[in-house]
């Protein structure tokens, strides 16, 4: 799979209660400075960089004014060779997606919209600090279709404290009823420094791992039954609609991230930018030893439901899975966390919900 380009749009109208990502309100001066910075950083793309997927994420790309979005697309067309791009995603918030912005994105080459629905209960959206209503989510999907987007993803959150399984079921059914090509189903994480974390510290949030697991298990079964194949721990897609850019990350491929807080991996070197505006710098740069990179690729690839084919892994990294982590894999397989046979290694169904603890034993 060819390389990917990621553009970080660090603006949000308002901070959601659970979010620890780097973003600021889209004040005109900050947006103008950011745009100049993006244009400058695009000048540093390595020669021969021809992406096959592009992902404009954030933050909230649709928090930009229509003209700013148009200028971003123009600068991308003028600085990047885009004729090999197969998938071009832009994230959209239902509260800021307008007909004008949808058209600009479509005309500019974006062919996939990833819409943050999160919940189909207005009271839950409010608690999460989302700026949109469920009616706006439905309107956003209808608008995307009317604009000609044939590839739409919806994000839904499970495990919100105080939200019972019945409500989450209704969320999944509502997302499915909108018939998107892709559904991401993420567990709500309580991140340090967020309003939600403060509520949890004050003892006002009851987070039940059991309830979260019940929602995850119900959701993955229902989505698969509805025709969205489970292809990564948190992601489901209609046939052929898996997100290429994410598959690229999970298979250890090359990508370049542009913008504050963006990360890159190119030709065995990894770097990341500082989360700063108006000017960001390179925060770190490291050359990965082939073995360390192979171990990381092993873990990333196990996020995919089919896991790794042993031959595929060898071809990708030059290492044999067992030579890298044979002892740990045998133990985790015995404990029922991995399924390992002569051809493949993958997460066992029971380990999907607790994958992080399995991965920590493999890195």
Note the residues at the interface with ligand SF4 (CB under 6 A): 12, 15-16, 19, 21, 23, 58-60, 93
Give CA separation, 205 vs 16, 125, 247, in Å.
16, 16, 34
Please identify, using beta-carbon distances, which residue of 12 and 262 lies nearer to ligand SF4.
12
Please identify, using beta-carbon distances, which residue of 152 and 337 lies nearer to ligand SF4.
152
| Cross-strand pairs, 116 | 155
C-alpha 228/C-alpha 180 separation (Å) is: 9
| Closest distance of CB 19 from ligand SF4, Å | 3
Please identify, using beta-carbon distances, which residue of 199 and 320 lies nearer to ligand SF4.
199
Query: Phi/psi zone of residue 261: left (φ > 0), alpha (ψ -120 to 50 degrees), beta?
Result: left
User: 355: buried, middle or exposed (CB in 10 Å: 19+, 13-18, 0-12)?
Assistant: middle
- The answer to whether the beta carbons of residues 231 and 305 sit under 8 Å apart is yes
- The answer to whether the beta carbons of residues 254 and 246 sit under 8 Å apart is no
Please identify, using beta-carbon distances, which residue of 80 and 188 lies nearer to ligand SF4.
188
| Closest distance of CB 342 from ligand SF4, Å | 43
| Closest distance of CB 138 from ligand SF4, Å | 18
| Closest distance of CB 125 from ligand SF4, Å | 11
Whether residue 266 has a cis bond before it, omega within 30° of 0: no
Please identify, using beta-carbon distances, which residue of 277 and 299 lies nearer to ligand SF4.
277
| Closest distance of CB 21 from ligand SF4, Å | 5
């Amino acid at each position: 799979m060819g390389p990917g380009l990621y553009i970080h749009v660090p603006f949000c109208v308002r901070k959601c209660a659970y979010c620890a990502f780097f973003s600021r309100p889209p004040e005109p001066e900050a947006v103008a400075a950011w745009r100049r910075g993006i244009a400058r950083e695009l000048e540093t793309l390595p020669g021969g960089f021809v992406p096959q997927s592009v992902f404009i994420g954030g933050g909230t790309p649709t928090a930009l004014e229509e003209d700013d979005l148009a200028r971003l697309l123009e600068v991308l067309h003028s600085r990047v060779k885009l004729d090999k791009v197969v998938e071009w995603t832009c994230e959209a918030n239902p509260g800021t997606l307008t007909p004008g912005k949808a058209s600009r994105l479509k005309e500019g080459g974006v062919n996939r919209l990833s819409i943050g629905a999160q919940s189909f209960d207005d009271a839950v959206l409010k608690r999460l600090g989302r700026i949109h209503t469920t009616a706006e989510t439905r309107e956003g999907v209808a608008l995307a279709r009317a604009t000609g987007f044939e590839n739409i993803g919806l994000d839904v959150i499970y495990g919100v404290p105080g939200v019972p399984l019945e409500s989450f079921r209704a969320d999944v059914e509502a997302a499915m009823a909108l018939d998107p090509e892709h559904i991401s189903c993420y567990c709500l994480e309580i991140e340090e420094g967020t309003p939600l974390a403060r509520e949890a510290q004050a003892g006002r949030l009851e987070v039940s791992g059991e309830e979260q697991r019940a929602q995850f298990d119900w959701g993955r079964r229902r989505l698969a039954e509805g025709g969205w194949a489970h292809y990564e721990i948190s992601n489901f897609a209609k046939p052929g609609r898996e997100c290429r850019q994410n598959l690229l990350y999970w298979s250890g491929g090359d990508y370049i991230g542009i913008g504050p807080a963006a990360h890159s991996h190119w030709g065995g070197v990894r770097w990341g930018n500082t989360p700063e505006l108006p000017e960001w710098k390179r925060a770190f740069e490291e050359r990965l030893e082939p073995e360390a990179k192979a171990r990381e690729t092993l873990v990333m690839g196990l996020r995919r439901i089919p896991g790794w084919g042993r031959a595929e892994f060898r071809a990708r990294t030059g290492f044999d899975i067992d030579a890298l982590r044979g002892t740990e894999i045998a133990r985790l397989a015995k404990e029922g966390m991995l399924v390992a046979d002569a051809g493949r290694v993958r997460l066992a169904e029971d380990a999907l919900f607790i994958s992080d603890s399995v991965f920590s034993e493999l890195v």
